[in-house]
Copies of this chain bind each other. A is one copy, B any other.
């Protein structure tokens, strides 16, 4: 994995001027909104920008300027890449800011903008909408489960604050344009008829919360840390962030997270139901991939039924729910996959759902 100097404090050649700037910043912070995080780094904007910024401001600011002058997505020009530092291995550079591929029935959506903490600018948003469209079109046929992950140390910092700054005089136009694409896409992703898993390897904030938590099953590493960020810059949640936080952890905890902008540790996320499993940093992606593969081998109507039923359990009363359970079970009972499940039992073998038509 490619690394950026900015993510390696040990290698920073701090001038005494920069060290002084850090002390200055820490000494003068006027409110909690500006308190630096304890360990986590975020240098490139996104809704959770300020808390995640323990490195010297001047150096960080310089980086922001340099990075923001490069194209926000796609392959950087050789010159821009060079400007980022000699540790970037150009030959490993992937083409797209959001990647899509299908392997063993699992559709992989990979955020690939690690140099900007996978923040979503307009171009990245377009690429994400496109990847979700691919998942939607393949769902239930070649795509039987989806895995959302990202490259780099941060999962996703949320909306790209640099673009917000550039467009601050017609911010509503930018918001409108982005959400016109991303809101239908996130709805499509959340309601795919196949299981969706996310692997959260590091900090996330703003709309990054939505992208992680719209999955049915959220796996994370201890390095993940969730921070709202919206209210620190006077904005409000998007892409369903408030929906997922409230539905998973309750309205009160969601308000606490989004109003105070305090970072929530991986342990608290697990405790509160924001995350479903924690895995060591090295085991996270293998575990998430294995889980997605296992689900891709499952029975389509069974898993799709479970998903729809659980997601709607608060949306109607018990009587309606029982009727929906009955309909779903009858669909399974007459499906080739349901017959296979019962036959496999009597024949004392593992069921082979994947080779049966899902009906």
A interface residues with partner B (beta carbon < 8 Å):
29-34, 45, 49-50, 57, 61, 161, 164-165, 168, 171-172, 174-176, 179, 183, 186-187, 190-191, 195, 216-218, 230-243, 245-256, 258-260, 272-273, 276-277, 291, 294-295, 297-299, 301-303, 305-307, 309-315, 317-319, 321-323, 325-326, 328-335, 337-346, 348, 350-351, 353
Contact = CB atoms under 8 A, between A and B. Distances in A.
A306 B255 contact: yes
Contacts of A187: 318-319, 322
Given A168-B342, A313-B242, A339-B168, A216 B249 contact: no
B238 A325 contact: yes
User: By DSSP majority rule, is chain A's interface helix, strand, loop, or mixed?
Assistant: helix
Contacts of A243: 309, 313, 318, 321-322, 325
Contacts of A338: 171, 233-235
A316 to B, nearest CB: 8
Contacts of A218: 252
Contacts of A250: 247-248, 273
| Residue from A317, A341, A348 having most chain B Cβ neighbours under 10 A | A341
A124 to B, nearest CB: 18
B273 A252 contact: yes
Contact of A233 (B237, B291, B342): B342
A230 B302 contact: yes
Contact of A313 (B49, B236, B246, B331): B246
A255 B313 CA distance: 11
A61 B259 CA distance: 46
A59 to B, nearest CB: 13
A273 B302 CA distance: 25
Given A248-B250, A259-B303, A325-B238, A175 B330 contact: yes
Contacts of A248: 250-252
B245 A310 contact: yes
B237 A329 contact: yes
Contacts of A61: 348
